[in-house]
Amino acid sequence: MSVEITRLPNGIHVVTHAMSHLETTALGIWVKAGARDEEAGENGIAHFLEHMAFKGTSRRSARAIAEEIESAGGEINAATGMETTTYYARVLKNDWAMALDILADIFTAPILDPEELERERDVILQEISAAHDQPDDLVFDLAQSASFGDHPLGRSILGTHDLIGGIAREQILDWRNRHYWGSRIVVAAAGHVEHDAFVAEAQRLLGGIAEGSSPQRATPVFLPTACTSEKPLDQAHIVLNFEAPGYRHPDIYVLQVLSNILGGGMSSRLFQEVREKRGLCYSVFSFGSAFEDTGQLGVYAATSPEHANELISLTTEVMMAVGEHVSEAEVNRAKAQLKASLVMNLESASSRADQIARQFLAFGEVPDIASLMARIEAVTPVQVRGLAGHLFRHHKPAFSAVGHIGGMAGYEAIARPFR
């Protein structure tokens, strides 16, 4: 059965994909509100709220939430991103109503108990410290800052020690009341689910949320610079990051193919040239991350400090070469991997629920798989070469590095070949 969509009177959209051969149901509440929607003094508040949702409601204690879902063998969790926050669960097929009731409860009625808030504040402060101690986490936070500066996209989702240490209960409630509106919410399920019954339950549990309005977000400006952190590590962790199309741009599929060719797998150019032929690192890959009005194409690698400059130089050569020549075989291989990933999501209820919810939040519809396949298949070597040339030959990269970086070339030397 195809995807079914119903709009509730308060603007919430209910999206389901029945996969009746499964014995489980994955479901959740996706809201178009995340770290990007925070003011500078609120940085980390979206993530803090997500944590506090599990710390008790007017109907359930924190322990009762965990015991009720786990007594049915289910799983429940949440995640905060730059543009969305998700509360989700996976249960056996006959328990979806119980799971939706719990999700709606923690979404609409967290009590934010002051004692629990202080305990969770300490947990989040430890989470921030742990991220700072993990160089492969820290280098990506620095990459965001080097790319977008003071814009919300340039800040860490977790926030800072100083801000989290001072956030008050009233601030969290105020932020929630400004952003958790029906017009921004998708309730989605995939697996063994019947659409009309799911809609009726969603209306009963969430129909009281005000419709509100769509987010009003500041347009990001990509102002590349360098953000580095000297640490006594055995490796230098490096990210080169370029401005790229957002997910609403027609070139988004070209970007995905380009990223795959560049560093998307063991057959990619970076893996073959940097790791297999030169042995300069253990880990190297490219990534494309897209937002509604901008995106990024970046490369990550970790190497010994004495090899850092050679690695950066070789990586630069590989990236520039994609703008000169891309073979039909490379493009076809990348397209096959992207199409396989789409189809594999159909084999997992959790992946499919997340996919259809995010697609609807992004585009106001859920494109059918055949349509997405056709858009991927339409990508040509000329398009990939053209996008690579545009990104790498006419724009400076943002640069971030963590580790022993004293002997590394300066930012201007690193950026010069690209522009």
Residue-wise pLDDT for 137-180, tens only, equals 999 999 999 999 999 999 999 999 999 999 999 999 999 999 99
Residue-wise pLDDT for 168-180, tens only, equals 999 999 999 999 9
Is residue 167 in a domain? yes
Is residue 235 in a domain? yes
Tell me: do 198 and 132 sit in the same domain.
Answer: yes
> Is residue 125 predicted with pLDDT exceeding 90?
yes
At residue 139, the pLDDT reads: 97
Q: How confident is the model at residue 214 (pLDDT cuts 50, 70, 90)?
A: confident
Is residue 68 in a domain? yes
Is residue 123 in a domain? yes
Q: What percent of the chain has pLDDT above 90?
A: 95
In this structure, of 89-93, 269-273, 344-348, 387-391, the range with the lowest mean pLDDT score is 344-348
Tell me: do 259 and 393 sit in the same domain.
Answer: yes
Tell me: do 131 and 248 sit in the same domain.
Answer: no
Residue with structure tokens 């939706």?
100
Q: Which of 4, 38, 42, 50 is catalytic?
A: 50
Q: Is 50 a catalytic residue?
A: yes
CA-CA distance, 159 to 362, in Å (whole number)? Answer: 25
Among residues 206, 241, 266, which one ends one of the domains? 206
- Triad 363, 250, 225: Cα angle to 5°: 100
Tell me: do 148 and 242 sit in the same domain.
Answer: no
Average pLDDT, the chain: 95
Is residue 400 in a domain? yes
Tell me: do 200 and 233 sit in the same domain.
Answer: no
How many domains is the chain partitioned into structurally? 2
Tell me: do 287 and 315 sit in the same domain.
Answer: yes
Tell me: do 355 and 267 sit in the same domain.
Answer: yes
Mean pLDDT of 176-187: 97
Q: Where are the alpha helices (H) located in 195-240, listed in sequence order?
A: 195-206
> Is residue 307 predicted with pLDDT exceeding 90?
yes
Tell me: do 189 and 236 sit in the same domain.
Answer: no
Mean pLDDT of 192-216: 96
Q: How confident is the model at residue 324 (pLDDT cuts 50, 70, 90)?
A: very high
pTM: 0.94
Q: How many CA atoms lie within 13 A of 280 on its CB side?
A: 25
Tell me: do 266 and 388 sit in the same domain.
Answer: yes
Is residue 170 in a domain? yes
> Is residue 1 predicted with pLDDT exceeding 60?
no
Is residue 211 in a domain? no
Tell me: do 247 and 396 sit in the same domain.
Answer: yes
Tell me: do 142 and 237 sit in the same domain.
Answer: no
**DSSP assignment of 394-410:** SSPPEEEEEES-TTSPP
CATH number at residue 396: 3.30.830.10
Q: How confident is the model at residue 84 (pLDDT cuts 50, 70, 90)?
A: very high
Structure tokens that stand for 290 in this block = 């897209």
Is residue 212 in a domain? no
- Triad 388, 390, 395: Cα angle to 5°: 110
Structural domain including 27 reads 3-206
Residue-wise pLDDT for 38-75, tens only, equals 999 999 999 999 999 999 999 999 999 999 999 999 99
Among residues 153, 177, 206, which one ends one of the domains? 206
At residue 244, the pLDDT reads: 96
Q: What percent of the chain has pLDDT above 70?
A: 100
Mean pLDDT of 214-230: 93
Tell me: do 337 and 385 sit in the same domain.
Answer: yes
Q: Treating both helix axes as pointing N-terminal to C-terminal, what angle do 381-393 and 252-263 enclose, rounded to 10 degrees?
A: 80
